[in-house]
Structure 1
Amino acid sequence: MIEIHARSSHRSLLVRIGSRAVVRPVLGLFPSSRTAACLLDLVDVGMQALPRHSEVQVESVDGGEWVAELLSVEGCDPRRGAIVYFHGGAFVMGGLGTHRRITERLAQRAGLPVLSVAYRQHGRGHVDTSIRDCIEAVDWLIDRGFDPSGLVLAGDSAGGHLAFAVALAATEQGIALAGVVALSPWLEFDNTQRRRHRNALRDDFIPAFRLQRVAHHVTGTPVIDPEMSPVNADLRGLPPVLIVCAADEVLRYDAELMTERLDKAGVPVDLHIWEGQVHAFPVLADFLPEGAAAVEQISTFVDRVVPLRPPVEDGLAS
């Protein structure tokens, strides 16, 4: 199913104007240097200083090379399942702080614990390193007693890429997860066709012309193997998928292409396209009414795919 949402608030217009004036020019400087990458880390540190929602309980998780926060609220049922959230940031920036608000909202609205994962990014490893960390984070949950058939993998932008990559690894091992949620996912490292998309110049957030260099930067290879892109994988056997994107963002190309290929592979998929929004707008759910509505869509999807009492199965080996 593909659904177009025409709603657009005054706040979303302000976000689009600010993104076009500030964010897009800054991202046009990518690939960043190591010094710039360190400065980008300060954004996450600053965001972690923001106050939390008072009803959210937080457990810090130290995975060695990765860290995470397990978020829950009163009434969460860990026996039913959990959401594992991988933040976006082009494998260069972002972390627990920048995505605290959406993960807290998901815990509140879905009624499930949320494991928010801070995986290694550029400067500490490449995309394959990020994927390994995310697999280990899912394994940590399973080792703790969470059943894989009750787990929903979610993420925005690069995090959407990771959600699919981990789901593909699980499927390859015969492990059935509950679902995948991808918000404005970056799923194709080859930028050739994307640069020809009608949104290449319309995107208020992402400078499409830079994406190929960023891809080489974060994969660490001058020639990118098509198999590194989840959109080119064998998608058969994946759990149900929810994809959300903005109508004018350039990664709409990835969202629509993945939707088409999932449908051909026989995987249940819903694509929601929101007009008047910016890339990964659900992350701004505390500010944007459209972002809050998208979180409600995610909650509805989770309720549909997560069984009330999932049976016990084996874990996912990293």
Structure 2
Amino acid sequence: MENPGLAELIKYLRSNAPTSPAPADMRAWFARILQATPVPSEARLERSTCDVPAYWITPPGADTSRVILYLHGGGYIIGSPETHLETVFRLAKCAGVRALSVDYRLAPEHAWPACREDAVAAYRWLLGQGVAPSHIAIAGDSAGGGLTLSTLLALRDAGLPLPGAAAFLSPWVDFTGSGDSAKTNAEIDPLVDPRGLAMMVGAVLQGNDPVKSSPLFADLGGLPPLFVQVGTAEVLLDDARRLVDKAKAAGGEAELDVWEHMIHGFQAFPRYLPEAISATERVGDFVRARLAITR
């Protein structure tokens, strides 16, 4: 079935493709394309006292005892709490909580695993502020989804109490690009190019082993409930599928939420897609249920 909004979004993204691989140029491009969705006037970034740069996003009426620790996407090279303000505000509003959006260190200035260290530090800070682990959900999109999984594994391996849940929007969890969808969807996903991902891997890992650095290939036992959302037209479709399969095989609880014909990052473009709103509501419902939030 034809989806005019999706066709218009794909046209918009293809006509506004990046023209330079330089990090500064890519960051400016990314901020520019995400301006397609206006930020509500009530959505604001409030600097926290966290040990790493992180910002509170508090929707009206939010239960401030519950927190989404949000890790933005952008291939570990681009993106910020500012570029993701609209999406994170909308997610937090759907869940009825506030969010702490982490401005983690980016590559190539800071190689892996600097970003993971920042995410772990932000989680430790929340615990130090008296937020119960069961009242925290970690969430992220794309590279932020991969960072979410890496952070969970680091917390588990350090013996820290784990959050109540984790949510993933189109996660990038395999630095080796071994999923079949990296080939089958390469020509139809306008936002992710497998060749671009390969270039990003070099800039991010800077000599670290791509297999050992990929959270997908770790032992996924002992994790909290996971909610993984992805579109069928995504290059990263099989990253999401394999994450859920591996988590279940390790004895965990994981739900795969698949959206037909949707492309990478579709949740960030409600101006074009009503599906973006519905999808974010589903993630919010998951967080609300897992953190025991009453309406």
Question: TM above 0.5, one fold?
Answer: yes
User: Does 1:17 find its partner at 2:17?
Assistant: no
User: Does 1:134 find its partner at 2:128?
Assistant: no
CA distance in 1, matches of 2:231, 2:30: 24
User: Does 1:279 find its partner at 2:264?
Assistant: yes
User: Does 1:229 find its partner at 2:239?
Assistant: no
Counterpart for residue 300 of structure 1? 285
CA distance in 1, matches of 2:105, 2:49: 13
User: Does 1:61 find its partner at 2:55?
Assistant: no
CA distance in 2, matches of 1:117, 1:125: 15
CA distance in 1, matches of 2:86, 2:71: 13
8 Å contact from structure 2 (residues 45, 55) kept in 1: yes
Task: Report the secondary structure of 2:184's partner residue.
Answer: coil
Which amino acid is 2:188 matched to? Answer: R
Note the residue ranges of structure 2 that are not aligned, 5 or more in a row: none
State the Cα deviation string for residues 259-297 of structure 1 (Å, max 9, x = none): 111111111111112123220211223542111001110
Task: Report the secondary structure of 2:82's partner residue.
Answer: coil
CA distance in 2, matches of 1:144, 1:122: 29
Note the residue ranges of structure 1 that are not aligned, 5 or more in a row: 1-5, 310-318
User: Does 1:148 find its partner at 2:123?
Assistant: no
CA distance in 2, matches of 1:212, 1:307: 40
Deviation at 1:180, TM superposition (A): 1.1
Which amino acid is 1:213 matched to? Answer: M
Counterpart for residue 71 of structure 1? 57
Change (3 A) 1:234 1:242: same
Counterpart for residue 165 of structure 2? 179
8 Å contact from structure 2 (residues 43, 85) kept in 1: no
Counterpart for residue 267 of structure 1? 252
8 Å contact from structure 1 (residues 16, 277) kept in 2: no
Please list, as runs of the form range in 1=range in 2, the aligned pairs for 1:182-201 lying within 5 A after superposition: 182-194=168-180, 197-201=183-187
Task: Report the secondary structure of 2:48's partner residue.
Answer: strand
Change (3 A) 1:259 1:45: closer
8 Å contact from structure 1 (residues 44, 97) kept in 2: no
CA distance in 1, matches of 2:93, 2:215: 30
Which amino acid is 2:185 matched to? Answer: N
Report runs of 4+ in structure 1 exceeding 6 Å deviation: 44-48
8 Å contact from structure 2 (residues 149, 215) kept in 1: yes
Report the identity percentage. Answer: 29
User: Does 1:85 find its partner at 2:85?
Assistant: no
Which amino acid is 1:41 matched to? Answer: R
Counterpart for residue 241 of structure 1? 226
8 Å contact from structure 1 (residues 9, 290) kept in 2: no
Change (3 A) 1:16 1:276: farther
CA distance in 1, matches of 2:228, 2:92: 19
Change (3 A) 1:182 1:254: same
Bigger mean CA offset, 273-282 vs 290-299? 273-282
Change (3 A) 1:241 1:196: closer
CA distance in 2, matches of 1:177, 1:194: 31
Bigger mean CA offset, 136-145 vs 99-108? 136-145
Bigger mean CA offset, 94-103 vs 52-61? 52-61
Task: Report the secondary structure of 1:127's partner residue.
Answer: coil
- Matched length: 291
Q: What is the Cα-based RMSD across aligned positions, in Å?
A: 2.5
Counterpart for residue 313 of structure 1? none
CA distance in 2, matches of 1:225, 1:298: 29
Counterpart for residue 273 of structure 2? 288
Bigger mean CA offset, 91-100 vs 50-59? 50-59
8 Å contact from structure 1 (residues 85, 155) kept in 2: yes
Task: Report the secondary structure of 2:83's partner residue.
Answer: coil
Which amino acid is 2:11 matched to? Answer: I
CA distance in 1, matches of 2:271, 2:129: 31
Deviation at 1:207, TM superposition (A): 1.3
User: Does 1:205 find its partner at 2:208?
Assistant: no
8 Å contact from structure 1 (residues 285, 295) kept in 2: no
Deviation at 1:208, TM superposition (A): 1.3
CA distance in 1, matches of 2:178, 2:293: 44
8 Å contact from structure 1 (residues 195, 208) kept in 2: no
